[in-house]
Structure 1
Amino acid sequence: MNQIDLNGRVAIVTGGARGLGEATAKRFIESGAHAVIWDIDPAAIDAAIARLGGKASGQVVELTNEAVVGQAADAVRDQFGKIDILVNNAGITGGNGKTWELQPDVWRQVLEVNLVAPYLTSRAVVPGMIEKGYGRIVNIASIAGKEGNPNASHYSASKAGLIGLTKSLGKELAGTGVLVNAVTPAAARTPIFDQMKQEHIDYMLSKIPLNRFLEPSEAAAMIAWLSSEDCSFSTGAVFDLSGGRAVY
């Protein structure tokens, strides 16, 4: 594993109790950062911290609640004095179905978790990052946000919106020392697959030229670099993690 220097950095990883989020927290810890897991499931947080050797901390956070997010960010700053890195990883698929067959409440929930929550978390941490003159925000979008997967219009729209948020926020923060970038993974075999139909999983695999799913550790490697000082001239950018599916 190539070493990325995150020594002394304080990183929040949303949805960090499993999947890509846990892999990212692990890579951060190995790179010298302290990882703070924000997740809705307290048991999953405890289990992830145990798997990470007790080297992370965690908070139960309802990411779609503005007041709760603000309080959680304040708690991190009170404990560590700063927030250097935010990884907006938490997301849901909302299941699969034709657009006209998906229920409005499900559609809205996917947008709330996948798009509104990253806005709220960014809103909570950006002023402190500006004050310190340093920050890195990495948004975990999806190849679906570039191409639009059939039978997943709510998920695709939410991730396209997250790409747009990344570009806008990156331009707004240019010159402050705070950089904002996104990655667009193809599917990785994580617990989120449990929310999908098998035919949808097969469809996603068929579109990947490398003919395999993404490994969480591969995503974590790119996220760690984007969270480091070595990433110094990219902001508002979208980095491909699609195994060759959409290299733009």
Structure 2
Amino acid sequence: MDTVAAFGSLHILVNKAGRGMKYVSDAFLTEPTRFWEVDSDTWRTIVDTNVNGPFLMARAAVPYLLDQGWGRIVNITMNHDTMRRAGFSPYGPSKAALESETVIWAQDLAGTGVTVNGLLPGGATDTGMIPEGVSEAVRTRLLRPEVMVEPLLWLASDASAAVTGARLDAARWDSTLPPEQAAAAALEQAGWTTRSH
């Protein structure tokens, strides 16, 4: 692996690469595309990037993390509402799969010193996934990408050693609080609430 060759070790993997709805349609914010209208090659490209990409990266990284008994995997995810939003296939389903990967990988790595958590901005964010031509009025309502920095640094630190299988909502992170308190207010269990039948 190039990273280990260049730096001698590997400690943290952030799975942030992703493809969003702009690959389906530039008008996805105002004119939803129904799932059967999505080009099959576009579907495969988004799913391959958002689901298979994190798996392949984690699969390559985990042996190094296990060998040193310490590591952090952070999967960049999104709100559950967006995963269920009409017209958001395949982006929503791909992020739901990543949420499941986060939960399962955290269990697989339990007790190893390697944690797996999700980090989401907490709302629509002004990134490269927003298509060109979006009005300035819409753009000013979007979160800034910098909202992710402090929570990510905390998840990558020793301070988060007891946290795995969680999701951290960056929009709920209060920078005026000590990091442990800010994290406690922004964390929840990854996955979906289960109900007894």
Q: TM-score, normalised by structure 1?
A: 0.60
Post-superposition shift, 1:236? 1.0
Change in Cα spacing, 1:188 to 1:136, as seen in structure 2 (3 Å) is: same
- Normalised TM-score (structure 2): 0.75
Q: How many angstroms does 1:241 deviate by?
A: 3.4
Query: Among 126, 135, 146, which residue is 1:189 paired with?
Result: 126
List alignment gaps of at least 5 residues for structure 2.
174-186, 189-197
Q: Return the offset for 1:226.
A: 0.5
Deviations 1:173-192 (A, max 9, x none): 11111001001222111221
State how far apart, in whole Å, the 1-side matches of 2:65 and 2:81 are: 27
Aligned with 1:87: secondary structure? strand
Pairing partner for 2:2 from 46, 69, 75:
75
Corresponding pairs, count: 165
Mapping of residues 100-139 of structure 1, within 5 Å? 100-139=36-75
Decide whether the 8 Å contact of 2:83 with 2:91 is kept in 1: no
Q: How many percent of aligned residue pairs carry the same amino acid? A: 34
- How far apart, CA to CA, are the structure 1 residues paired with 2:15 and 2:75? 5
User: 1:241 maps to which residue?
Assistant: 170
Structure 1 residue identity aligned to 2:127? T
Matches of 1:85 and 1:216, distance apart in 2? 20
State the alpha-carbon separation in 2 of the partners of residues 157 and 145 from structure 1: 11
| Matching of residue 159 in structure 1 with residue 83 in structure 2 | no
**Alignment check: 8 A CA contact 2:119 2:168 kept:** yes
Instruction: Answer yes or no: is the 8 Å Cα contact 1:111–1:155 preserved in 2.
Output: yes
- CA RMSD between the two structures: 2.7
Residues 1:159 and 1:242: Cα distance change in structure 2 (over 3 Å)? farther
One-letter amino acid of the counterpart of residue 170, structure 1:
A
Which ranges of 4 or more aligned residues in structure 1 deviate by more than 4 Å? 144-147
Secondary structure of the corresponding residue to residue 221 of structure 1: helix
The alpha carbon displacement at 1:213 in A equals 2.2
**Distance between the aligned counterparts of 1:145 and 1:232, measured in 2?**
28
Determine which of 214, 217, 233 is the counterpart of 2:143.
214
Q: 1:232 aligns with which of 153, 161, 174?
A: 161
The range that moved more, 181-190 or 127-136, is 181-190
1:217 positional shift: 1.2
- Judged with a 3 Å threshold, the aligned counterparts in structure 2 of structure 1 residues 144 and 105 are, in CA distance, closer, same or farther, namely farther
Q: Any idea what the Cα deviations from partners look like across 1:138-188, whole Å, max 9, x if unmatched?
A: 000111576422211200000010010001001111111100100122211
State the 1:212 CA deviation.
Answer: 3.5
Check 1:145–1:177 CA distance in 2 against 1; reply closer, same or farther (3 A cut): farther
